[in-house]
Chains A and B, each alone.
Chain A
Amino acid sequence: MKNMKTLATLGLACSIFLAACGGTEGNTSAKTSEGLSGSVAGDGSSTVAPIMEAIVEEYAQAEKDVKVSVGVSGTGGGFEKFIAGSTDFSNASRPIKDEEKAKLDEAGVDYTELKLANDGLTIVVNKENTWVDSLTVEDLAKMWAEDGTAKKWSDINPSWPAEEIVFYSPGTDSGTYDYFNEVVLGDADLVKSATLSEDDNVLVTGIKGDKNAIGFFGYAYYESNKDSLNAVLIDGVEPNAKTIESGEYTPFSRPLFVYVSNAALKEKKEVRNFMEYVIDNAGEMAKAVGYVQLPDADYEEARKTLDSVK
């Protein structure tokens, strides 16, 4: 009989715990400036996530009763939830695709596109790779296309070693993958031999370990691994904060976006308040986590766009 009681107690204890969870939270409802409360939900790109995390962290101090939660399902995964109507905003490391627009239309979701920051998609090679200095987008296309003409380093430049190139790329769910594909390959397929990973640290480790490796990812990952990786110049332009902000590092200086639902902006005060906070702080926070801020005028523009949704 006692054993049965243990069983029951176990269940009961759990239910009490849940209730207790609710209790403790109620006490923290301190006063906030506008008395805003409610919840704001977002999802999307893991590239944008560090900026969002920084903004949410600050916002939680400013508006204690607004509960912002942000997922990191990747740009594509985020849009899927945005289309299903389960999120108020969606982070993206590439512009929205036509098919996603069509689906949003079909679902009756109106949205506003806002730019948050710039990121320099960085092409990197192993530290021991002393031959590659600068590449052109055409070179990259020859290397990265499945039916491309350059499979060995010597195919690009005869003075380079006649060794097979080893490819590392972010996974297919990431906006970084989509962006690279569109800019470099157009309609061609990415080399099938490439190692794909949703975790950029796997790419970093892979490229560190292979003299013949080449790969790409966001600038923040390069900056954290500067000592063990070489960045490839694109047409002679080095990726750094200056060239990315000015757009000189082209075509790999790419904007990071957030897409917000117009209905949520109109109906939920807390969503509007949070998005205003996002725009006002995106530049500073982007810089703090290793990205590049947009020119001030762009943020003013974004703020106007936001205000025009009524």
Chain B
Amino acid sequence: MDRVLQSKINRRLTKDSAMKWLFGAVVAAVLGITFFLFYGIGADGVGRLNLSFFTNFGSRFPEKAGIKAALVGTLALMAVVIPVSMFLGLCSAIYLEEYAKKNKWTAFIEMNISNLAGVPSVVFGLLGLTVFVRALLLGNSILAAGLTMSLLILPIIIVASQEALRSVPDTLREASYGMGATKWQTIIHVILPSATGSILTGSILSFSRAIGETAPLIVLGIPVIVQFLPTGPLSTFTALPMQIYDWAKRPQPEFADAASAGIIVLMVLLITMNGFAIYFRNRSEKKLKS
């Protein structure tokens, strides 16, 4: 009897340590692949990263080609995407979470929003092309692309913000009402301050997605050969992913190096934004505790 028990225990222990090794191996493999990719891109691109890479426009000479137009274009694009998607997303989330009655309709709307989050970005590109570029005559401008990108990430922002609002304990709301505060006062003074950290984290992560998206830009017809900086929201522009994609397609291997350098710039931008996300989260967590 003892022996049977002992062997069963042994088997469980073997399984236990086997799983530990399996998970460890998976993590190592993923890290290995990522490192391999980064190393390849870094080795090719780092030589191109000098000041002129940032101050030059595109060029037929690979060694002179720079990302000035694309970098400024991407930043300008984000200048539209961030306020628009934050405003729309936050308002929708507040309405759905704080005002709307919990009935079938609300559930139906929420289900559709979650669904939209999974719609391929090309579809949003086509929507933007039909509505913003053609019907509203915005052309392939920063505004048209920014609104399209805002719609693309809106579902994620709404869902993330709803989660954040939901995680605010009801005791806080009740305490606020108990003090005689109105609903609006409660939202602005009690709920939002304690949810800001998670709202920002979710939003910034989705902004990163908007920065890296290429498919909607291609559908909208965003040009690549651009020798000027945008002058306003209705100006034509180009963006980092478009420029990188174009360089990567060129026959000359020197352009591939420029593409790698562009990827490094994009990565740094993304890491910076994600860093902000972590910073905001930590700060708001600290604040809530004190």
Where the two chains meet, the residues of A that have a C-beta atom closer than 8 Å to any C-beta of B are 1-4, 6-7, 10-11, 14-15, 17-18, 21-22, 24-26, 39, 41-43, 46, 49-50, 52-54, 56-57, 59-60, 67-73, 77, 81, 84, 86, 198-201, 204, 218, 220-221, 223-225, 285, 288-290
Contacts and interface: CB of A to CB of B under 8 A. Distances in A.
Interface centre among B86, B134, B193, B225 (most CB of A within 10 A): B225
Contacts of B253: 224
A56 B249 contact: no
A179 B217 CA distance: 27
B251 A220 contact: yes
**What is the predominant secondary structure among interface residues of chain B facing chain A?**
helix
B87 to A, nearest CB: 7
B60 A21 contact: no
A21 B232 contact: yes
B83 interface: yes
16 contacts: A3-B196, A3-B287, A10-B86, A18-B79, A21-B232, A43-B223, A49-B225, A52-B225, A53-B59, A57-B59, A57-B60, A60-B228, A67-B228, A86-B134, A218-B251, A224-B251
B182 to A, nearest CB: 17
B232 A22 contact: yes
A296 to B, nearest CB: 22
A272 B16 CA distance: 75
Contacts, number: 145
B200 A21 contact: no
Contact of A11 (B82, B221, B228, B246): B82
Interface residues of B, number: 54
Interface stretch (B19-27, B70-78, B93-101, B170-178): B70-78
Contacts of B209: none
A49 B125 CA distance: 23
B248 A14 contact: no
Interface centre among A1, A26, A71, A73 (most CB of B within 10 A): A71
Smallest CB-CB A-B distances: 7 pairs: A3-B196, A60-B227, A70-B225, A224-B251, A54-B60, A69-B223, A14-B79
